[in-house]
Amino acid sequence: MTILPARTFLMLQDPWFGAIPEARRTALLDAAVLVTRPDGARIYATGDPPNGLWGVVEGRVRLLDYPVAGAEVLVQSLGPGAWFGELSTLDGGPRPQDAVASGRTTLMHVSDAAYQRLAERLPALHHDLALLACAHQRAALAFIGQRVVQALPARVAAALLGAAQDVGLAPLAIRQAELALIVGVSRQTLNRTLKTFERGGVIRIHYARIEILDAEGLRRLVRTGGLDGASSA
């Protein structure tokens, strides 16, 4: 299936993909097909064998881990332009997490067989995927660190700003349950913090969406560790 130029341009905005030499970028795009998954569909599950490399074109994908029975941890939330699935593609091992569509999601898919054929012809692709794995590891470590040291208002503000990057600060079509997973708290605890933000004029809560009214106020909360008028949450 031919990738539309606009979508190709979108994928180039990703720092990892944009840095790959053009010949290898083109090879991956030529090998990719577009697939669509409905909200909540599993792209792959923990323990599954490799099924290739994936890139988000529209929508979001959540990477979920289950450290203990009954506990669900959001490892990453990936928006348009992001690629994932590189670890099992590289080492051939089982998938370490679930990858789940959040909303109707369009993806680029380079099958495992297609990738292996490409890598035989372009072995430097292995190095490219290793860099992607390193980038994801660094992001995961930073995410864990933020959960440990940042106050809750700062974590919520950072999560809202991160989600807003995909929509340019327009109202976010993000469920509070998903935002709670990103921040690592219960939905009830998150809602109390969001209500504090709303009283402070930073956001407005609508049904199934959140509108950012003061992006600089959110950035200030992140810089001050959440101790700028919302610490009572």
List the chain pLDDT tens, one digit each, 233 residues.
Answer: 444 455 666 677 788 998 999 999 999 999 999 999 999 999 999 999 999 999 999 888 988 887 666 666 777 778 888 999 999 999 999 999 999 998 899 999 999 999 999 999 999 999 999 999 999 888 777 766 666 667 889 888 888 887 776 555 556 777 787 788 778 788 889 999 999 999 999 999 888 788 888 989 998 988 887 655 444 44
- The pLDDT value given to residue 4: 47
Instruction: Please say which residue of 147, 179, 196 terminates a domain.
Output: 147
CB atoms within 10 A of CB 31: 18
Domain around 103: 5-147
230 domain-assigned: no
Same-domain status, 103 and 216? no
Instruction: Please say which residue of 127, 147, 167 terminates a domain.
Output: 147
Instruction: Please say which residue of 115, 147, 179 terminates a domain.
Output: 147
- The pLDDT value given to residue 1: 45
Please give the tally of structural domains in the chain: 2
Contact 218, 202 (CB under 8 A): yes
Same-domain status, 61 and 108? yes
Contact 64, 5 (CB under 8 A): no
d(CA 2, CA 30): 7
CATH code, domain carrying 104: 2.60.120.10
Contact 65, 172 (CB under 8 A): no
Contact 209, 164 (CB under 8 A): no
Contact 100, 61 (CB under 8 A): yes
**Alpha-helix runs per DSSP H in 20-150:** 22-31, 86-91, 112-121, 124-149
Which token pair is 190? 């998150």
Same-domain status, 130 and 193? no
Same-domain status, 95 and 197? no
Same-domain status, 77 and 58? yes
Same-domain status, 113 and 36? yes
Angle at 216 between CA 210 and CA 220, to 5 degrees: 105
- The pLDDT value given to residue 2: 46
228 domain-assigned: no
Same-domain status, 142 and 37? yes
Same-domain status, 37 and 53? yes
| CA proximity to 157, closest of 83, 201, 105, 223 | 223
Phi, psi angles (nearest 5°) of residue 91: -100, -5
Contact 146, 183 (CB under 8 A): no
229 domain-assigned: no
Same-domain status, 195 and 86? no
How many CA atoms does the CB half-sphere of 233 hold within 13 Å? 29
Same-domain status, 24 and 104? yes
Same-domain status, 165 and 121? no
CATH code, domain carrying 180: 1.10.10.10
| CA proximity to 34, closest of 110, 92, 88, 102 | 110
- The pLDDT value given to residue 167: 52
d(CA 77, CA 95): 17
